[in-house]
Amino acid sequence: MKKLLAKYHVDNESECLYRYVKSKTEIFIPHTHDYYEIFLTLKGNITHEVNGQKQTLAEGSLIFIRDTDCHFYDYDKKNEFEFVNVSFTKKTAESLFEYLGDGFPSKALLGAKLPPAVTLSKNEKIKLFSQLDELNAVNFNDKQSLKLKMRTILFNVFTKYFAELKETEEIIPYWLESFHEKLSHSSCFTMPTTSIFALTPKSREHTSRLFKKYYNTTVSEYIGDLRINYAANLLINSTLTVTEICYECGFSNLAWFYELFNKKHNMSPKKFRENYK
């Protein structure tokens, strides 16, 4: 087992290294390393053998490799692939995770059995590749500018794509990740249910089935919880009446709002407001 070391494979001053890799230029052997990396598949399919298991990575796959992962790539020599890779030091990752705080699942990301992964849409893949490729536009002698650019990109990647750990060996489709992300905005989860499902390109039945599979909850349960969280904050931080808050949160039935609120907080919205006031 070969171990790659940051002192040889990552620039010491900028704490990163950006590479554009084509399969025909590389000889892949099982390895681990004392630094982290992310890679994005740009073309072709890759068989990624990692921690004793195989992952099939299609175009647009974004993977976070930890220092504990043992991996290498296998592929059909007739079907070449291309990917971009950003290696960065543990120091950089630790600084980022510390800044993001306890709300970010850094321990779960680092401790997962398989590397966290997500499949991006074609547009998202192009957008992220463009951002990564901006590293090549920085003067390679200006290490501090390169370090700043790299850390900005890593912040965006981790907060957008890896903010929630998914304990699964399968890669969650980007359209579902995108739908899940959109639901966290009040402008979306307060909409009527029919309008909410219009946010995804798939059918309501297909979306509901995969949502339950990957997030271990139904779409309606997830939306209901978001609405109740929103209502609780409005009860504390606004002067809206309970009825106004009910409709502001997307509920069309006051009795149903009361039932869900009581179920989560063991008290009525009015009592909840009184307690926190």
| CATH number of the domain bearing residue 246 | 1.10.10.60
For the stretch 123-175, pLDDT in tens is 889 999 999 988 888 888 899 999 999 999 999 999 998 987 654 446 678 78
pLDDT in tens, 99-117: 999 989 999 899 988 899 8
Here the tokens at position 64 are 């976070």
Verify that 37 and 138 share a domain, yes or no. Answer: yes
Considering the domain architecture, whether residues 28 and 136 belong to the same structural domain is answered as yes
First-to-last CA distance in the chain? Answer: 61
In this predicted structure, what is the pLDDT of residue 172? 77
Task: Report, as an integer, the average pLDDT of 88-106.
Answer: 93
How buried is residue 173: exposed, middle or buried, by Cβ count under 10 Å (0-12/13-18/19+)? middle
Tokens of 56: 């099939």
CA distance 267 to 261: 7
Entry pTM: 0.67
Q: What is the pLDDT of residues 24-56, one digit of tens each?
A: 666 678 899 999 999 999 988 888 889 988 888
Tokens for 271, please give them: 């009592």
152 & 192 share domain: no
Q: How confident is the model at residue 70 (pLDDT cuts 50, 70, 90)?
A: very high
Same domain, 165 and 37: yes
Cα gap 269→231, rounded to integer Å: 8
Structural domain of 10:
2-172
Match 């920085």 to its residue by tokens.
Answer: 138
Rg for the chain (alpha carbons), in Å?
22
